[in-house]
Amino acid sequence: MQSPRAILFVSLLAAYGGISLAQDAPAPVLQSEDQARTLLEHVIANQKKNDLAQSTYERLERLEIHKGPGSQPPEIKTTRAVPAGTGIDRIPVGPDGKPVDAAAYRAELEKLERALSWAAEDGRAQREAYEKIAKKQKERSDLIDATRTAFLYTFIARELRGDRTLSKYRMVPNPAYKATSRATAIFSKVRGFLCIDDDAEQVARAEIEVTEDISIGGFLAKVYKGSHLMQERYEMAPGLWFATYSQYDFDGRRLFMSFSIHERTLYSQYRRIGPPKEALQAIRAELGKSTSANADP
């Protein structure tokens, strides 16, 4: 069973992809249903483009994990997160993003090299792994498409973020929407706010609150009412918007054990490393491998 956080992350973030205006919403920017429909299609298309591109970008992640009383200092982990074809490889680094132990860091790079070398091959095992990834991507894409009708958004106001103008919307479930899966059924149990960058037609910020307990995996796990998720996004490459900050405050239970997830993650230093074959060459160059080692596997 996937963790409650993983399921909620995919399902709730999918809500960032769409926007449909409530019938009584004051929308000074969108003067017609055609304009609203056009914005919807552009935001969804951009979200899908971001999702696909992110699998070719590495980044620095600074994770703060809060356990126990709020007065206790958080546990902090800083990693270099590198797409490895069929997953993300996270290499521990110092707060500045540089290696703390050169030998240990090189060992991690060599492990990443082996993973990329495997992912770059065209064998049965690789095809099966990529088929599973494609299935998950299709499921996420379907969730994003479902937001065309799953939510109503009411325009609230415009606000500035630096030199950018954002339009803020209140998000509520659409009472006319009929869920088609367990994942889309979650949409009726959340509400929140979205900020859309007017010029880029991208989601810049989202805040989501769970309004009813959400059961996951039948009765195996539950996320409690009052849990929150927030994410900030910026343009990290031309036309691509990725997360720069995420915050999770989830409480619930798995089987008979309670859990509490309170995490803050800062994302920075995005850099395109490419698909596995391209990334493999970059990592081998970083390792100082010989010319013969740089040949395609």
pLDDT for residue 70: 60
pLDDT at 22 over 60: no
181 or 122: which leads in pLDDT: 122
Instruction: Please give the mean pLDDT across all residues of the chain.
Output: 83
Phi, psi (deg, nearest 5) at residue 105? -65, -45
pLDDT exceeds cutoff 50 at 139: yes
pLDDT band at residue 128 using 50, 70 and 90 as cut-offs: very high
- The stretch 126-154 carries a mean pLDDT of 86
pLDDT at 290: 59
Neighbours of 276 (CB within 10 A): 24
pLDDT at 44: 83
pLDDT of residue 180: 87
Q: Is the pLDDT of residue 19 over 80?
A: no
- What pLDDT score does 33 carry? 59
Burial of 240: CB neighbours in 10 Å, binned 0-12, 13-18, 19+: buried
pLDDT band at 91 (very low <50, low <70, confident <90, very high): very high
- 275 pLDDT tier (thresholds 50, 70, 90): very high
Average pLDDT over residues 197-219: 86
- If you average pLDDT over residues 229-236, what whole number do you get? 94
Closest to 190 measured CA to CA, from 6, 5, 8: 8
Does residue 113 or residue 223 have the better pLDDT?
113
Bridge partners of 210, per DSSP, are 190
pLDDT reported for residue 25: 38
Residue 8 has pLDDT above 80, yes or no: no
Query: Which of 67-71, 242-246, 264-268 bottoms out in mean pLDDT, i.e. has the lowest?
Result: 67-71
The model carries a pTM of: 0.84
* Higher pLDDT among residues 155 and 8, named by residue: 155
